[in-house]
Amino acid sequence: MTTTVNSPNPEQREALGARLRHGREAVAQRWHHAPRWVRWVLLAAVIVFFYALPNKEFYQYLGPIPTPGANFTQVLFTVSIYVLMAVGLNIVVGFAGLLDLGYFGFFAVGAYTVAVLTSPSSDIKTLWPWLLVVPIAIALTMVSGVMLGTPTLRLRGDYLALVTLGFAEMIRIAAVSSPFLKGQRGFNQIPHPPGQYSDGKPIFGVLDARPYYWLVLTLIIVVVIGVRNLTHSRVGRAWISIREDEDAAQLMGVPTFKFKLWAFAAGAAIAGLAGALFAGKQNFVNSQNFELLNSIIILAAVIFGGSGNIIGAIVGGGLVAYMIERFRGIELFGVELYEYRFLFFGLVLVVMMIFRPQGLIPNRRRAAEFKDRRKEVTVGE
């Protein structure tokens, strides 16, 4: 049987592209021309909205937004972790242009560092408090990033993609089969973050996911401010130049290897932080938390949102993680949509790549780079 794919003709594609472009440009124009205070007020409103979101008194009025098949605040926590990771991966993929297929491996390093150093099921029984281990987890993740990056980032091309893919798989296999990492049985009683209310009850407990979500949300804001400052500095210029043309960057005196390694390590550190937060909330870490697919999902989220753009990464990470959870509990012809989540997800990505390869909210430069590359391809043909 043959199937014909009805690919849209170029004119239609152009027209659709143009319409999308105009829509976004209109929004961007308004945003940039709005007075400063308007922008601040809007931004504050968005932030307040997301802080208020996990409260039932608030989200019950939001129609179809809360997830029917899962506890909405739990879902929000998961989504926030994905957003944090998307922001981190965006530094690696979006700013420095490095293809990291094993980003979730760093998340695992962060989570397992916390597990091993805090859990009573760990062989070494250090039983340190969570807060003390977080910086250790971040540092260890950065070190593993540097160790992975040092031999590979000197090479051009697809080596990095392969090595990172191998790294994530290696971590997963170690988690499954090494007695030290406890496989499926995992680590339990991982301590929660510290802090208690005035009545003595802990802020970070087992049942209420909201404090964790608020913590991650706050960290996302801090990280985004940090990344923004970085991208507007010499470091950011160096990253962008490497992404646009590595040889030219080197010819302008940019120490390309050093900056690639920095981007890689910074991204790894953020994933390590996410892993530590996850372990501190979940209380339990085992080998099932680290499927390879997760790396691909985050990468897809960044590309989907528009790599190179912080807002794009946030929207991409948020939407993708949310959509996956939203499918839970919805039945169609007797099957749960959740079972087919990756199929939908794949379809959406394919459609995106056809109509909008630069992502939902592309960055101005990125669009030009894509055009430039397309031109090069046509010249070469």
Partner 1 sequence: MLLEIDDVSLLYGRIQALHGISLTVEEGEIVALIGANGAGKSTTMRAISGIRPVASGRIRFAGEDITKLRADLRVRRGLCQAPEGRGIFPGMTVLENLDMGAYTRRDRAGIAQDLDRVLNLFPRLAERRKQQGGTLSGGEQQMLAVGRALMSRPKLLLLDEPSMGLAPMLIQQIFTIITEINEQGTTILLVEQNAQQALARAHRAYVLETGRIVKSGTGQELLHDPSVKDAYLGVA
244 binds partner 1 (CB under 8 A): yes
Residue 238 C-beta: closest distance to partner 1, Å: 7
Give the residue among 110, 100, 77 at the shortest CA–CA distance from 295.
100
The neighbour count for residue 231, using CB atoms within 10 Å, is 18
The residue among 21 and 185 lying less far from partner 1, judged by its C-beta, is 21
Cβ(269)–Cβ(322) under 8 Å?
no
Q: Report how far apart the first and last C-alpha atoms of the chain are (Å, whole number).
A: 32
Among 67, 74, 231, 256, indicate the residue that binds partner 1 (CB under 8 A).
256
Ramachandran region, residue 195 (left: φ > 0; alpha: ψ -120 to 50; beta: rest): left
Residue 35 C-beta: closest distance to partner 1, Å: 23
Residue 254 C-beta: closest distance to partner 1, Å: 6
Q: What CA–CA distance (Å, rounded) separates 294 from 315?
A: 17
Q: For residue 374, what are its two tokens? A: 């397309």
63 binds partner 1 (CB under 8 A): no
The residue among 21 and 364 lying less far from partner 1, judged by its C-beta, is 364
**355: Cβ contacts below 8 Å, ≥ 6 apart:** 13, 16, 17, 20
The span of 40-48, 146-154, 272-280, 362-370 binding partner 1 (CB under 8 A) equals 362-370
The residue among 64 and 253 lying less far from partner 1, judged by its C-beta, is 253
**352: Cβ contacts below 8 Å, ≥ 6 apart:** 303, 304, 359, 360
369 binds partner 1 (CB under 8 A): yes
Placement of tokens 């669009």 in the chain? 367
376 binds partner 1 (CB under 8 A): yes
234 binds partner 1 (CB under 8 A): yes
24 binds partner 1 (CB under 8 A): no
- The DSSP output letter for 246 is H
- The sign one gets for the Cα dihedral 276, 280, 282, 288 is positive
328 binds partner 1 (CB under 8 A): no
**CA distance to 31, 208, 245, 327, per residue, from 61 (Å):** 28, 20, 49, 20
Residue 372 C-beta: closest distance to partner 1, Å: 4
Residue 325 C-beta: closest distance to partner 1, Å: 35
Residue 240 C-beta: closest distance to partner 1, Å: 7
3-state secondary structure of 196: strand
90 binds partner 1 (CB under 8 A): no
208 binds partner 1 (CB under 8 A): no
Cβ(130)–Cβ(192) under 8 Å?
yes
247 binds partner 1 (CB under 8 A): yes
Transcribe 324-363 into DSSP letters.
Answer: HHHTTT-EETTEEGGGGHHHHHHHHHHHHHHH-TT-SS--
The span of 13-21, 147-155, 237-245, 286-294 binding partner 1 (CB under 8 A) equals 237-245
The span of 9-17, 187-195, 240-248, 270-278 binding partner 1 (CB under 8 A) equals 240-248
The neighbour count for residue 128, using CB atoms within 10 Å, is 13
Please count the residues of this chain forming the interface with partner 1, following the rule CB under 8 A.
Answer: 27
250 binds partner 1 (CB under 8 A): yes
47 binds partner 1 (CB under 8 A): no
314 binds partner 1 (CB under 8 A): no
3-state secondary structure of 308: coil
Residue 232 C-beta: closest distance to partner 1, Å: 12
238 binds partner 1 (CB under 8 A): yes
Residues that bind partner 1 (CB under 8 A): 234, 237-238, 240-241, 244-245, 247-256, 364-369, 371-372, 375-376
